[in-house]
Amino acid sequence: MLFSSISFLYYFLPLALALYFVSPRKLKNAALLLASLVFYGWGEPKYVLLMGLSILLGFGFGLLVEKYRENRAGKIFCAVSVSVSLAFLLCFKYADFFLISFREATGLNVPLLRLALPIGISFYTFQIISYTVDVYRGQAAQRNLIDLAAYVAMFPQLIAGPIVRYSDIADQLAGREHSWHGAAWGIRRFVIGLAKKILLANQLGELCSAFRASEEKSVLFCWMYAVAFALHIYFDFSGYSDMAIGLGRVLGFRFQENFNYPYISASITEFWRRWHISLGTWFRDYVYIPLGGNRRGRERQLLNILAVWMLTGFWHGAAWNFVLWGLFFAVLLTAEKLWLLKRLEKSRLLSHFYTLFFVMISFVIFNADNLGQAFSDLSGLVGGGGIPLVSADAVYCLRSFGTVLLAGGIGATPAVRGLAGKISQSTAGAKVWTAAEPAVLAALLLVMTAYLVDGSFNPFLYFRF
């Protein structure tokens, strides 16, 4: 089920919230779990069983890890739990990728498994792993299966994050406050995220689709595509994160922020502190630091960076272009660690353009169907293949999508938030906005509903991960 759908907004969500808030405090997690299972099973009910099995195993291993964590057995149970979770992920997400690679390398006709990818498996697998490891590190194990299941299956962030770590919300699972102020803040955040998705991401996605369908490629069109996709994936994913954080606040949870205007960054290092923050901190705390981080010398640190970014790329998808995407960032981050970062600090403007350029290049690689298409798209940026500088399709799309490109560029900066902040700082402005905000949000929701009724199916990009 999609957040940006009529069925979710006007059927599922009102019923789920009604069930949640009429439930007594002791049963709220059970109500949340029930709603989450319905949400997840809406499209493919059989994969609820896979998630349920993963939760049961995580629950059992968590108790065993806590009981024996002072002994070697605790470490073994933790390792087995992590291995089992990763085995599920490898089987459903990567098995055919490895089999295809084996077939191409050996020429043997090995049959493929052709398993459908369970939606959100990358996210809930990482959450179960974080739970087990947090228990091994000293966090109290969860003794209520329903509470643990509610954490893993929580519908606001189940499908596409942010990755919520157990240690961050363990206390909130046991007891959390609900308030009108928190609910109002959450609704506002949800509507803003929905607007990012419907009014910006979906429109930018149409430009990307037009580029793919066009037989009149040009250098201008290739660059328009690179800019459009960079903005598309930002508004798509940050919009989902806004909606998840907003819904979490309505339910009394406080989730970690996942984006902090990454396109204003002045280095790739800064970009990854602002982009998909929950994934970056997860890999830092559960992979990079356990491997030794920067504590074992410069050479080991660089190897650790390489390992983390290969895994980060591979986490995004079972294809070589994702591996290349991860290695691309590993090279840039290594260069910045060794010498480039100090030079970038000399000019904020040049370093900003450097960051935007390489981020756009990375997303061209990211969005390709395969390595061949990635290299073709990249060569198009410099006129490869003899394509012209300008084409009729490029001019038409520039006229059609110029406004949304401009709006996306402005919306990806703190400019709008800064303007709103200045208005709210004045007494008169604060009064006007307080009175007008409900009407503005309602009108925005009405416009987006019209888009949904008239629009086509457009899932979130990170659903496939």
List, by residue number, the catalytic residues.
Answer: 316
Residues 145 and 29: beta-carbon distance below 8 Å:
no
The DSSP code sequence of 276-289 is SHHHHHHHIIIIIT
The pair of structure tokens assigned to 430 is: 């604060």
CA distances from 332 to 270, 340, 378, 386 (A): 12, 9, 17, 29
Closest CA to 230 of 398, 8, 400, 409: 409
Residue 162 contacts residue 244 (beta carbons within 8 Å): yes
Distance, in Å, from the CA atom of 327 to the CA atom of 442, rounded to the nearest integer, reads: 45
Q: Burial of 70 by CB count in 10 Å (0-12 exposed, 13-18 middle, 19+ buried)?
A: exposed
Residues 6+ apart with CB under 8 A from 364: 225, 226, 229, 374, 377, 378, 381
CA distance 132 to 326: 26
